[in-house]
Chains A and B, each alone.
Chain A
Amino acid sequence: MSLIEAQGVSKRFGDREALRSVSLHAAEGEILAIIGPNGAGKTTLLSIIAGIQSPDDGELTRPPGEVGWVPQQAALYGKLTVAENLRLFARLEQRPDVEAAVEEMLHQTGLEDRAGDQVSTLSGGNRQRVNIAIGLLAQPDVLLLDEPSAALDPRQRERLWEFLQARAEQGTAILFSTHNVAEAERNADRVLVLADGELLFEGPADELALGADFESAFVEFLRERGH
């Protein structure tokens, strides 16, 4: 059952076409990676699905429940502590047991010992962990992550994907954008290749690679299409 269904979604910024009739779907428990070069339209596509921006054209169907959103740059209040940030958003998300939700997220992010620290004092990686935790607070049916592992070290990245895989197994559809094609190949059920706002490929990573090295195949694929 598709939780997200996009048909012919287009978006313009002035003269620039950020998205050109992009269609996609994501089912329960599915992990989709959106890959492409810089300026391909990955963030625009995710922000439209998240409801932050409206498409100029096309149709989008989203689940009636919550869509979790994890922006590329940490959307946190630097002057608040980790726990205070989590508590604020848990309240805004109307979680029935706010303190339990905060404890759960602190545990999942491994930041229990930094709960009382102001976010402005955290490293980029730890901020991103809090950022992701806030996106998960609503226990959403669909989770959108914009380059979630960009600021994480390998160990943190591993922990993140363990966590996301567990979420997907519980039925959450996960869409994430990334530059890291290896990460997409390793973690995604399907990949969507975007370039200049155009959807060039949608399918399992091995279909694109056809037995070759995925990253090389991806670069070659773009080159063949003039990107």
Chain B
Amino acid sequence: MRWLLIKDLQILKRSPLLVALLVIYPIVIAVLIGLALSRGPDKPRVAFVNEVPAAANVIQLGGESIDTSKYGKELFDAIDPVRVDSEAEAIKKVKSGDVLGALVLPQDLTHKLASGIEPAHVKVYYNAEDPVKARFVQNTINSQVQKANAAVRKKLTKIAVGYLKLVVSGGKFSFFGRNFDVLGLAKAEAILRATLAEIPKDSPANAQVATVQQFAKIAHDNLGLSNDVLKTVGEPIVVDQHVLKGGKTPLDAFAVAVAVTVSLMFVTLLLAAGTLALEREENAFSRLVRGLVSRTGLLVEKGLLASGASFVVTLAMLSGLALFIDLAWDRFPLWVVALVAGALGFAAMGLAIGALTREVRAASLLAFMLALPIAFLALIPSGSVSQTLYDVTSAISAVFPFKPTLDALNAALNDAGGMGKALIHLALLVAGYGVLARVGLRRFA
């Protein structure tokens, strides 16, 4: 046992690349998962503009004073607020990806809340490069606005109940500076009963009849007012959402793009890396490149095999998914373009892996180990992590074909912007990985 242990340690010691991989990979995965869990949905960075004058923070509702800034504090507990001075500055920060979204409280917010007649509006700006992010922003902002709505609703309900009580029981009522004595339904009913009992048919009871008529009018007016109030009670604060970039893709259609891109990645990477490395493992490489096939020709053949096979698989997958999810068949030619471009990108990367590892098992392992983190990194939305970290993840994602393939496929499936930039990106990656694979073949034999 001891000698076997020593032997294994010696082998590990003489395999620095493997040891480095074993140490670095879990750390990278742990950091990525940690970032996802710690910085994602809990505290999104949101630019915040408060145009409400400080003096207007306290409003009267239902006879009570309410400090609206208290709700702002609750909101700030839920987000990582970035205070800015103007709406324009907030929009700029969203566009640059510095923040996930922006929340703008307009000047008349508390005035409208206090009136209880019409809903107050807040503005939300965000980028929706992908629907996951859009859903995240919507959920985050909406949940906070719902909290504020619930609190205001409580107060407005109290007002509505007061109005109804006035109608039923009567009392003093002030409206636009005029004071009324409201009879109330109960007293009116008593008066009418008494009047009906005592009044002779030919008696002129004009004054009492006039009182009843006044009550009827005010009761009618109050009930009309209660309707408006009750409408407002349903949604005292309304969110006006503004998408600055991207944004028409439904979440299920985006999920299709992600699923197909992941499948394309795994099939192509493993096939390209494995088949190339197999030529060396079978000892056939030296025989082939001795004049039968050029090294570049061999790479092209493996690349076409891997990309062709994965293209067929993922196109079938897309067609199958289209039976359950509403995908635009009239965009089919664009599906093909995106899948072919993505497959070529992954094939080039797979060939580089195969050329550098030179063994099927090592190639498969490395392809698998690279695939998961690059997919994860590419799905991190702007604003969900710090700007520096986002720039780093974006730079890393740019070196791998996952992100441009996802962009191209999303554009092809969901009309989410042009494909040109993604296709150029993939073409550059094909060239870069192609060169890397070709250089790797120099020490392949």
A and B associate in one complex = yes
Provide the main secondary structure of the chain A interface: loop
Closest residue of chain B to A51 (Cβ to Cβ) is B290
Stretch of A69-77, A156-164, A199-207 at the chain-chain interface: A69-77
Interface string of A47-62 (1 = CB under 8 A from B): 1001111000000000
Given contacts A52-B445, A53-B445, contact A75 B282 (CB under 8 A): yes
- Contact of B287 with A71 in the complex, beta carbons under 8 Å: yes
- Contact of A92 with B293 in the complex, beta carbons under 8 Å: yes
Closest residue of chain A to B278 (Cβ to Cβ) is A77
- Contact of B286 with A47 in the complex, beta carbons under 8 Å: yes
- B288 in the interface (beta carbon within 8 A): yes
- Contact of A92 with B292 in the complex, beta carbons under 8 Å: yes
List residues 275-292 of chain B with CB under 8 A from any CB of chain A.
282-292
Closest residue of chain B to A53 (Cβ to Cβ) is B445
Q: What band does the interface of chain A fall in when counting residues whose beta carbon is under 8 Å from B?
A: 10 to 19
List residues 76-99 of chain A with CB under 8 A from any CB of chain B.
76-78, 89, 92-93
User: Within the assembled complex, what's the spacing in Å between the Cα atoms of A78 and B360?
Assistant: 14
List of A residues within 8 angstroms of B287 by Cβ: 69, 71, 75, 89, 134
- Contact of A52 with B292 in the complex, beta carbons under 8 Å: no
List of B residues within 8 angstroms of A78 by Cβ: 282
- A66 in the interface (beta carbon within 8 A): yes
List of B residues within 8 angstroms of A53 by Cβ: 445
User: Within the assembled complex, what's the spacing in Å between the Cα atoms of A76 and B293?
Assistant: 15
- Contact of B284 with A77 in the complex, beta carbons under 8 Å: yes
- Contact of B284 with A76 in the complex, beta carbons under 8 Å: yes
- Contact of B283 with A51 in the complex, beta carbons under 8 Å: no
Closest residue of chain B to A50 (Cβ to Cβ) is B290
Closest residue of chain B to A70 (Cβ to Cβ) is B287
User: Within the assembled complex, what's the spacing in Å between the Cα atoms of A73 and B445?
Assistant: 13
Interface string of A206-224 (1 = CB under 8 A from B): 0000000000000000000
List of A residues within 8 angstroms of B284 by Cβ: 75-77
Distance from B345 Cβ to chain A, minimum over Cβ atoms (Å):
28
List of B residues within 8 angstroms of A50 by Cβ: 286, 290
List of B residues within 8 angstroms of A77 by Cβ: 282, 284
User: Within the assembled complex, what's the spacing in Å between the Cα atoms of A93 and B293?
Assistant: 10
Closest residue of chain B to A72 (Cβ to Cβ) is B283
Q: Looking at the complex, which one of A69, A73, A74 makes contact with B290 (CB distance below 8 Å)?
A: A69
Distance from A31 Cβ to chain B, minimum over Cβ atoms (Å):
21
Q: Looking at the complex, which one of B283, B288, B292, B293 makes contact with A74 (CB distance below 8 Å)?
A: B283
Interface residues of A (CB under 8 A from B): 47, 50-53, 66-67, 69, 71, 73-78, 89, 92-93, 134
Given A71-B286, A75-B287, A134-B287, 7 more pairs with CB closer than 8 A: A51-B290, A52-B445, A71-B283, A75-B282, A75-B284, A78-B282, A92-B293
Interface residues of B (CB under 8 A from A): 282-293, 445
Question: Can you name 18 A-B residue pairings with CB atoms under 8 Å?
Answer: A47-B286, A50-B290, A52-B286, A52-B290, A53-B445, A66-B291, A69-B286, A71-B286, A74-B283, A75-B287, A76-B282, A76-B284, A77-B282, A77-B284, A78-B282, A92-B288, A92-B292, A134-B287
Task: Return the 8 tightest CB-CB contacts between A and B, nearest first.
Answer: A75-B283, A92-B292, A75-B287, A75-B284, A73-B283, A52-B286, A51-B290, A77-B282
